[in-house]
């Protein structure tokens, strides 16, 4: 207990955490705020199926890019450890490998997305209007896929260097431009749902170009050279690909859970799927804000492990953990007291509002349940220990799926109860793995 108190009282660690976390919280909050703007803009169009098309189309797109989140996570861990060793050549190689992987995966996944999206919509059995608008929205969004994945690699690399200003610039540029263009295209030019998709694509490419420009200046401050012959050898790619493989499996399972939420919600009707989308925007708001602290943990823990500094690792864990707990309490109060206003700001469709009001208590409970999985993911990413992240996610899915099946008779209540259980099991599993590694002093092996 005294070691926790001493770590919490270490002022330099607080400064380091907030120097990284605050810019990332601001930039991360812009991501769900764009979703909120899209929902608010399209939610004020006359029909529920228009809002539903953006919700379902965004879910399909997120299913793709969310499974490729390893491009950011894996890059952050390796870049943080390279920075801890002060290895400029490794920093260059990690960035280049991340960008090459982003391009290759964008081409592969883009070619597979069209037939798979048709299959996914067939499983949802949406109305004809919802099906048509969703396809149009999703097909346009795919044009931004290479830029989205390049942004993942760039943001992860900058975070590993403990540079939060560049990700702030990239994400704010992307997401604020998206918000402005969405309002302009949907309402100003009357392009409807298609306008929201076009706005997202233009914003994603703008952010990627800015990130590439910023990386050139950052590399000048880290002398070193890329070992080009090594890039042609498998051994140079194996560590990154091994970590990315496990994070990919973990991310695929997570996006599968969100996809099942959308599928089941769609089967319950257009108003239900739209209401669930509004509430999940609240989850996104919480996740992206608290992920700012998780990003700080990634960079600080990875740096401490690279430098083999056990005291710095303990301080980073304590300070970020306690701040994350306080943040989750604040969000629980926010949704508990202001949930109805949160829904009303996003849509004026009476049927959608009425459904959303019923399920607000679940949204208020989510921050307290989910915060631990966000934070512990940061620890494992910084340590480049992706296998434990993968295993914890698979345990949560395997236990929550049967529960969801048993609760089907409760309709949307059963869906939300199963999702809460999934997030709880995920956090507990990660905590168990972290405790075991700490007991064995295995973080530095």
Q: What is the pLDDT of residues 330-343, one digit of tens each?
A: 999 999 888 888 88
Helices in 268-385 by DSSP H: which ranges? 270-306, 310-346, 350-358, 360-382
Q: Which residues contact 29 (CB under 8 A, 6 or more apart)?
A: 285, 288, 289
Q: List C-alpha distances in Å: 413 to 268, 337, 356.
A: 11, 20, 11
What is the pLDDT, as a whole number, of residue 396?
A: 94
**Cβ contact 320:378 at 8 Å:** yes
What is the pLDDT, as a whole number, of residue 393?
A: 93
Residue with tokens 């989850």: 283
Query: Is pLDDT larger for residue 443 or for residue 373?
Result: 373
What is the pLDDT, as a whole number, of residue 45?
A: 66
What is the pLDDT, as a whole number, of residue 54?
A: 72
What is the pLDDT, as a whole number, of residue 66?
A: 66
* Residue whose C-alpha is closest to residue 51's, from 335, 256, 346: 346
What is the pLDDT, as a whole number, of residue 395?
A: 95
Question: Which range, of 118-122, 142-146, 256-260, 345-349, averages the lowest pLDDT?
Answer: 118-122
What is the pLDDT, as a whole number, of residue 421?
A: 94
Q: Above 80 in pLDDT, residue 188?
A: no
Question: Which range, of 66-75, 190-199, 204-213, averages the lowest pLDDT?
Answer: 66-75
Q: Which residues contact 130 (CB under 8 A, 6 or more apart)?
A: 49, 52, 53, 56, 266, 270
Query: Is pLDDT larger for residue 281 or for residue 394?
Result: 394
Query: Binning pLDDT at 50, 70 and 90, where does residue 432 land?
Result: very high
Q: Above 60 in pLDDT, residue 46?
A: no
Query: Binning pLDDT at 50, 70 and 90, where does residue 30 land?
Result: low
Query: Is pLDDT larger for residue 217 or for residue 195?
Result: 195
What is the pLDDT, as a whole number, of residue 342?
A: 87
The stretch 54-67 carries a mean pLDDT of 71
What rounded mean pLDDT belongs to the chain? 80
Number of Cβ atoms within 10 Å of the Cβ of 194: 16
The stretch 260-278 carries a mean pLDDT of 79
Torsion angle of the four alpha carbons 439, 440, 442, 445, in this order, in degrees rounded to the nearest 10: 150
**Cβ contact 49:132 at 8 Å:** no
Q: Percent of the chain having pLDDT more than 70?
A: 87
Q: What is the pLDDT of residues 208-234, one digit of tens each?
A: 999 988 988 777 776 667 767 767 777
What is the pLDDT, as a whole number, of residue 419?
A: 92
Query: Is pLDDT larger for residue 414 or for residue 259?
Result: 414
In the three-class reduction of DSSP (H, G, I as helix; E, B as strand; rest coil), residue 336 is classed as helix
What is the pLDDT, as a whole number, of residue 427?
A: 92
Q: Above 80 in pLDDT, residue 415?
A: yes
What is the pLDDT, as a whole number, of residue 425?
A: 95
Query: Is pLDDT larger for residue 51 or for residue 430?
Result: 430
Query: Binning pLDDT at 50, 70 and 90, where does residue 369 land?
Result: very high
Query: Distance between CA 53 and CA 196 in Å, rounded?
Result: 11
Query: Is pLDDT larger for residue 288 or for residue 420?
Result: 420
* Residue whose C-alpha is closest to residue 51's, from 210, 192, 170, 201: 192
Q: Which of 53-62, 90-99, 337-346, 411-420 has the highest mean pLDDT?
A: 411-420
Query: Distance between CA 88 and CA 207 in Å, rounded?
Result: 25
Q: Which residues contact 69 (CB under 8 A, 6 or more apart)?
A: 152, 247, 251
């Amino acid at each position: 207990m005294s070691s926790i108190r001493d770590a919490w009282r270490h002022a330099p660690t607080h400064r380091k955490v907030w120097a990284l976390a605050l810019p990332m919280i601001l930039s991360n909050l812009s991501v769900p705020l764009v979703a909120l703007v899209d929902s608010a803009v399209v939610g004020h169009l006359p029909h529920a199926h228009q809002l539903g098309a953006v919700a379902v189309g965004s879910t399909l797109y997120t299913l793709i890019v969310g499974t490729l989140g390893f491009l950011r996570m894996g890059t952050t861990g390796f870049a943080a450890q390279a920075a801890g060793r002060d290895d400029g050549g490794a920093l260059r190689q990690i960035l280049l490998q991340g960008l090459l992987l982003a391009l290759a995966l964008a081409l592969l996944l883009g070619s597979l997305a069209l037939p798979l999206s048709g299959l996914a919509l067939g499983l949802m059995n949406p109305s004809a209007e919802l099906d048509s608008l969703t396809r149009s929205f999703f097909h346009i969004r795919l044009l931004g896929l290479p830029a989205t994945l390049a942004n993942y690699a760039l943001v992860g690399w900058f975070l590993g260097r403990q540079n939060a200003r560049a990700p702030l610039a990239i994400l704010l540029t992307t997401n604020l431009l998206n918000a402005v263009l969405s309002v302009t295209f949907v309402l100003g030019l009357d392009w409807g749902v298609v306008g929201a998709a076009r706005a997202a694509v233009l914003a994603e490419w703008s952010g990627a170009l800015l990130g590439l420009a910023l990386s050139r200046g950052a590399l000048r401050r880290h002398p070193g050279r890329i070992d080009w012959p090594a890039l042609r050898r498998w051994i140079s790619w194996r560590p990154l690909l091994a970590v990315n493989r496990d994070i990919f499996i973990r991310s695929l399972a997570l996006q599968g859970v969100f996809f099942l939420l959308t599928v089941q919600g769609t089967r319950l009707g257009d108003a239900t799927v739209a209401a669930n989308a509004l509430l999940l925007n609240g989850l996104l708001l919480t996740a992206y804000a608290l992920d700012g602290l998780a990003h700080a943990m990634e960079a600080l823990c990875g740096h401490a492990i690279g430098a083999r500094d056990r005291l710095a690792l303990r301080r980073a864990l304590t300070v970020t953990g306690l701040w994350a707990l306080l943040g989750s309490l604040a969000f629980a109060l926010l949704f508990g007291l202001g949930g109805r206003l949160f829904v009303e700001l996003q849509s004026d469709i009476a049927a959608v509002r009425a459904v959303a009001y019923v399920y607000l208590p679940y949204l208020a409970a989510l921050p307290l349940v989910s915060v631990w999985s966000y934070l512990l993911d940061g620890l494992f990413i910084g340590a480049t220990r992706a296998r434990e992240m993968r295993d914890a996610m698979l345990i949560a899915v395997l236990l929550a799926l049967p529960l969801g099946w048993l609760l089907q008779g409760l309709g949307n209540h059963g869906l939300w109860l199963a999702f809460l259980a999934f997030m709880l099991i995920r956090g507990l599993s990660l905590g168990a793995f972290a405790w075991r590694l700490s007991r064995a002093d295995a973080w530095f092996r």
